[in-house]
Amino acid sequence: MTYIQGSHHVTLSVGHAQEDVDFHTQVLGMRFIKKTVLYDGSTPVYHLYYSNADGDPSSVVTTFPWAQHGISGKRGTNQAREVLLSVPEESLDFWYKRLTEHQVPVANAEVFGRRRLTFEHPCGIEYALVGNTGDPRLPYAGNGVPQEFGVHGIHGTAIHAHTPERTVEFAEQVFFAQGGIVEDGDRAAFQIGNDKFGNHVEVIGNRRDDQGTWSYGAGTYHHFAWNLGSLENQQQVKFEIEGAGYTDISELKDRTYFKSVYCRMPGGALFELAVTHAEGGWDCDESPEELGRHFMLPPQFEDKRSEIMAQLEPITVDN
């Protein structure tokens, strides 16, 4: 039996590293759990990881800071656009006040009959805090955010598409959409996989904007990753996607902490099919208590540690 468990992580191309660290830890109160580098290509770029208290796969936001290299992207249609995070429903007033105090412009919105707060990352990527009741994932308590009000983890993703019906069709036919499709104005929503929380997908019909960029570049959402549970299941899901004719899918890539394949949806968003394998996990190279305290490199880059460090802007993490 093939399946998708739920979400695994979200990865963004952001601006400068320090402003990204400060936004996720000092403003959103998330836990800093990993400092490493982009595994693809030869340009040295940080890969930074943030999570809830336990580092649940469905809680992790990761970023590539590109501003140091002068590489910018363009937000538009046919790409994932909005980072949706889950917080306790009763915390929204706290968050409105906190974001305002940190000089982050914030607005109330009602989507699918539920309140959420909308705001932006310093590089312009759109975020929303969605209030949920009964989310069991444990928030991190830090930097002025009490645990009872903290970020549980990912709520989901919002994708902008010129032809949103193609994205919905893909989800229903081959990507394990659950619970039917609900609509609110120009948004359609469904859940992917078996988890109750963290796996909401919203698809927004957007024919106003130009095509957004799909390459790395500051200010853009790179991909949304799903948790496939096991390598055997991951391979079977890959076969089924290819068998349905969606052949824009990569071979297996080893990211140390998980192993992944990547699939471009017909609506343009990039999905990752990830598995935290037996030798992986956030604590495979750092103890659970020390997560994020060291600069971790994959073995193929270790002999260039000094060279890589000299090319990256230093960052300070108070977490």
β partners of residue 273: 226, 261
**Per-residue pLDDT, 280:** 87
Measured between alpha carbons, how far is residue 308 from residues 192, 266, 312 in Å?
Answer: 38, 36, 7
d(CA 155, CA 199): 6
Tokens in use for 21? Answer: 């660290």
Q: Given a cut of 90, is residue 267 above it in pLDDT?
A: no
Across the range 14-31, mean pLDDT stands at 98
Mean per-residue pLDDT of the chain: 95
d(CA 31, CA 187): 31
Share of the chain above pLDDT 70, in %: 100
**Per-residue pLDDT, 235:** 96
Measured between alpha carbons, how far is residue 7 from residues 89, 128, 215, 227 in Å?
Answer: 20, 17, 22, 5
**Residues 114-126: tens digit of each pLDDT:** 999 999 999 999 9
Lowest mean per-residue pLDDT among 188-192, 283-287, 296-300: 296-300
**Amino acid in position 80:** A
Q: Given a cut of 80, is residue 160 above it in pLDDT?
A: yes
267 vs 138, residue with greater confidence? 138
Judged by DSSP in three states, 254 sits in strand
Across the range 138-156, mean pLDDT stands at 96
Share of the chain above pLDDT 90, in %: 90
Q: Given a cut of 90, is residue 15 above it in pLDDT?
A: yes
Q: Would you say 45 and 64 are in contact if contact means Cβ atoms under 8 Å apart? A: yes
**Per-residue pLDDT, 54:** 95
Secondary structure element (H or E) that encloses residue 173, with its range: helix 164-174
Task: Give the start-to-end residue ranges of the domains of the chain.
Answer: 6-310
Q: Is the dihedral of CA 131, 58, 75, 13 positive or negative?
A: positive
Q: Given a cut of 90, is residue 300 above it in pLDDT?
A: no
What b-and-e string marks burial along 61-78, b requiring 16 or more CB atoms within 10 Å of the CB?
bbbbbbbbeebbbebbbb
**Residues 233-246: tens digit of each pLDDT:** 999 999 999 999 99
Q: Given a cut of 80, is residue 319 above it in pLDDT?
A: no
**Quick one: CATH architecture of 6-310?**
Roll (3.10)
Across the range 116-138, mean pLDDT stands at 97
